[in-house]
């Protein structure tokens, strides 16, 4: 993966590993959300065929990262030969660990949590000794308190932590809609100069949420337009990833997604 | 009255997302007075929808991951297991869930197993299917045990060791781990093994403090050792009583702590 060319990739979904290898001409990199199983028959070929990116391996950076987690991350980085690591800007369990939601959930953008995220992300980045890209999570619930805007929080977070910005376009579309704002304007306010990786995914109506959420489908025209909008404003952009990690993902959907991304980016191997 | 911070408010928000009772009652004594007041001003319908969304995701992910073999058998018979989560009975269970609790896991697992039992009765299948579902159910229930999220929150080790609440030994008529390994290697369209030899097997299911599910083969010696670890005997007493040499007993105790069978 070099800085003069944008890498186009997907997530490693072991149930479609064989088909992923077959479309190697469309995929440069794979993000690794879970370590491969010991008996994964395809992983060594996958490792030899694609750049692998460590993704979402800690939990939440509002708390200090302990040495055991850092050591595990270092092992995975060495195994994947990952050029950078990525983590979510999320908060999924309470401080005392009594309650957890076990799914991506955003923090509240307040001064005290900003200070904690900065300190812990900086410490993790330094401990890992390689670039660390942080991916914000959609805010769907709003609380009636004084807090920072997502844009202000992110500008200050990336500046002070030295981390890179992993921009998930679908996440920001959901956050923008929930805040009653235009998605393009919302994204334009974000620190795009720090973006090194972009995630794109499809969105669809979730019947429980009764609103759009990230789905296992190719990115639609709006997401692809916004991907281009962000990419054109991200001078450090190195990778664009189709963000679908699910057993519900089919090989055909993955192929349609990466073809659509390449088409819009004008990047072919 | 303590001052509300972003952290304390977010802790309260996560708590009401995970716990139906807290969401319904918004108790100031448990959430904090200011935190409960902020949450009371949140659009109640959106709060409920998000909680329902998170809950369904929580158990859907476990249904897909932990009941994968039973689900594959059902799909080969034209049934779609994800419909379990859309049933009215389970919907009510999910709306009143305490995420991660043993009680909710048990209720949800019972609904899932009832669905697979009906699938087996109505559509037929290999005779080992009920044992396979019980094996998967034991994993589902065990995974509901409490996790330690950070090193700083680890138990301090001042009490005598005791068998952890989530650890369980379950007996099966067949060697389910061996069967599961065979099933995992099947490609789509491969024939499913039908007859599996009877091979009584006891398995110990545990959840490590970091949330890693383990399934190990059990036997009389292991279960006898676990009986000694009842919270009343010190480590020294356990080592003396178990009939093993000190080094082996210490190693056994340490391994069982590591996999979460025993809490310090």
Query: Confidence band (pLDDT; 50, 70, 90) for B230?
Result: confident
Is A95 in CB contact (< 8 Å) with chain B? Answer: yes
- Report pLDDT digits (tens) over A9-27: 999 999 999 999 999 999 9
* B76 φ/ψ angles, rounded to the nearest 5 degrees: -65, -15
pLDDT score at A2: 45
**Residue found under tokens 């138990």:** B155
pLDDT score at A269: 66
B68: left (phi over 0), alpha (psi -120 to 50) or beta: alpha
Tell me the whole-structure pTM to 2 decimals. Answer: 0.90
**Residue found under tokens 């479609």:** A16
Residues in Cβ contact with B113 at an 8 Å cutoff, skipping those fewer than 6 apart: B133, B134, B137
Is A129 in CB contact (< 8 Å) with chain B? Answer: no
CB atoms near residue B66 (< 10 Å): 22
Report the DSSP beta bridge partners of residue A200.
A242
Nearest Cα residue to A184 out of A169, A200, A202? A169
Percent of all residues in chain B with a pLDDT value above 90, rounded to a whole number: 64
Helices (H), B124-234: 129-142, 176-184, 220-228
- Report pLDDT digits (tens) over B177-204: 999 999 988 877 889 998 899 999 999 9
- Per-10-residue mean pLDDT of chain A, 269 residues long, equals 77 96 97 91 96 91 92 95 97 94 93 98 96 97 92 98 98 96 98 98 94 95 97 97 93 97 88
Residue among A99, A102, A105 minimizing CB distance to B15:
A99
Residue among A63, A101, A145 minimizing CB distance to B14:
A101
pLDDT score at B51: 96
Taking the C-alpha atoms of residue B92 and residue A133, their distance in angstroms, rounded to an integer, is 40
Nearest Cα residue to A259 out of A2, A17, A27, A18? A27
Query: What interhelical angle do B176-184 and B68-75 show, nearest 10?
Result: 60
Tokens at A3, concatenated: 């800085």
pLDDT score at A249: 94
- Report pLDDT digits (tens) over B77-129: 999 998 888 888 788 888 899 998 999 999 999 999 999 999 999 999 999 99
Tell me how close the Cα of B197 comes to any Cα of chain A, in angstroms: 24
CB atoms near residue A2 (< 10 Å): 8
Contact at CB, B46 and A140, closer than 8 angstroms: yes
pLDDT score at B152: 53
CB atoms near residue B76 (< 10 Å): 14
* CB pairs A-B closer than 8 Å: 116
b/e code B2-20 from CB counts within 10 Å (16+ = b): eebbbbbbbbbbbbbbbbb
Query: For B220, how many CA atoms within 13 A lie in the half-sphere containing its CB?
Result: 0
pLDDT score at B151: 56
- Residue B143 has what DSSP assignment? T
Taking the C-alpha atoms of residue B229 and residue B227, their distance in angstroms, rounded to an integer, is 5
Contact at CB, A95 and B6, closer than 8 angstroms: no
Tokens at B162, concatenated: 């005791």
Report the DSSP beta bridge partners of residue B201.
B172
Residues 162-191 of A with CB under 8 A from B: none
Q: Are B135 and B170 in contact (CB under 8 A)?
A: yes
pLDDT score at B232: 86
How does DSSP assign A93-123, residue by residue?
A: B-TTSS-B--S-------HHHHHHHHHHHHH
Report the DSSP beta bridge partners of residue B163.
B262
- Report pLDDT digits (tens) over B126-159: 999 999 999 999 999 999 877 776 655 545 556 7
- Residue B11 has what DSSP assignment? H
Work out the mean pLDDT of chain B and round it to a whole number.
90
Taking the C-alpha atoms of residue A147 and residue A112, their distance in angstroms, rounded to an integer, is 10
Beta-strand pair A51-55/A132-136:
unpaired
CB-count burial class (<10 Å; 0-12, 13-18, 19+) for B32: buried
Query: Confidence band (pLDDT; 50, 70, 90) for B166?
Result: confident
Q: Are A227 and A185 in contact (CB under 8 A)?
A: no
Contact at CB, B38 and A143, closer than 8 angstroms: yes
**Residue found under tokens 């991951």:** B65
Tell me how close the Cα of B260 comes to any Cα of chain A, in angstroms: 17
Tokens at B135, concatenated: 């094996």
pLDDT score at B237: 84
Tell me how close the Cα of B61 comes to any Cα of chain A, in angstroms: 9
């Amino acid at each position: 993966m070099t800085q003069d060319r944008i890498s186009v990739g997907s997530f490693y979904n072991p149930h479609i590993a064989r088909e992923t290898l077959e479309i190697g001409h469309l995929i440069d990199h794979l993000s690794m959300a879970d370590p491969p199983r010991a008996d994964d028959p395809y992983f060594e070929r996958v490792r030899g065929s694609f750049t692998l990116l460590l993704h979402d391996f800690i939990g939440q950076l509002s708390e200090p990262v302990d040495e055991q987690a850092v050591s595990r991350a270092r092992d995975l980085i060495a195994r994947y030969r990952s050029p950078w690591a990525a983590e979510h800007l999320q908060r999924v369990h309470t401080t005392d660990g009594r309650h957890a939601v076990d799914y991506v959930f955003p923090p509240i953008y307040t001064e005290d949590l900003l200070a904690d995220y900065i300190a812990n992300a900086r410490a993790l980045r330094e401990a890992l000794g390689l670039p660390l890209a942080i991916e914000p999570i959609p805010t769907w619930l709003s609380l009636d308190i004084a807090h920072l805007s997502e844009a202000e929080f992110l500008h200050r977070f990336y500046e002070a932590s030295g981390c890179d910005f992993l921009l998930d376009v679908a996440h920001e579309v959901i956050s923008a809609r929930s805040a009653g704002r235009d998605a393009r304007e919302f994204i334009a306010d974000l620190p795009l100069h720090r973006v090194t990786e972009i995630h794109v995914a499809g969105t669809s109506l979730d019947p429980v949420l009764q609103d759009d959420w990230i789905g296992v489908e190719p990115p639609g025209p709006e997401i692809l337009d916004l991907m281009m909008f962000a990419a054109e404003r991200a001078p450090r952009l190195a990778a664009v990833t189709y963000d679908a990690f699910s057993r519900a993902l089919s090989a055909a959907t993955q192929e349609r997604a990466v073809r659509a991304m390449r088409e819009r980016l004008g990047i072919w191997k | 009255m303590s001052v509300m911070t972003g952290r304390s408010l977010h802790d309260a928000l996560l708590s009401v997302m995970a716990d139906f009772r807290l969401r319904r009652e918004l108790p100031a004594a448990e959430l904090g007075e200011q935190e409960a007041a902020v949450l009371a001003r949140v659009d109640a319908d959106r709060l409920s929808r998000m909680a329902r969304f998170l809950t369904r995701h929580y158990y859907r992910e476990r249904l897909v991951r932990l009941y994968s073999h039973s689900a594959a058998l059902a799909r080969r018979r034209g049934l779609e297991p994800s419909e379990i989560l859309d049933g009215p009975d389970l919907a009510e269970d999910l709306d009143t869930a305490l995420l991660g609790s043993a009680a909710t896991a048990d209720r949800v697992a019972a609904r899932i197993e009832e669905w697979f039992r009906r699938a087996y009765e109505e559509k037929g299948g290999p005779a080992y299917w009920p044992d396979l579902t019980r094996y998967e159910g034991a994993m589902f229930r065990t995974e509901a045990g409490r996790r330690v999220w950070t090193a700083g929150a680890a138990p301090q080790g001042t009490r005598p060791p005791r068998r952890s609440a989530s650890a369980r030994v379950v007996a099966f008529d067949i060697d389910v781990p061996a069967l599961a390994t065979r099933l995992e290697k099947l490609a789509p369209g491969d024939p499913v093994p039908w007859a599996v030899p009877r091979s009584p097997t006891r398995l110990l299911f545990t959840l490590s403090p970091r949330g890693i599910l383990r399934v190990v083969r059990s036997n009389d010696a292991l279960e006898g050792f676990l009986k000694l670890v009842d919270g009343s005997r010190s480590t020294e007493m356990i080592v003396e009583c178990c009939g093993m040499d000190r080094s082996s007993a210490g190693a056994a105790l340490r391994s069982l702590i590591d996999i979460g069978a025993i809490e310090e």
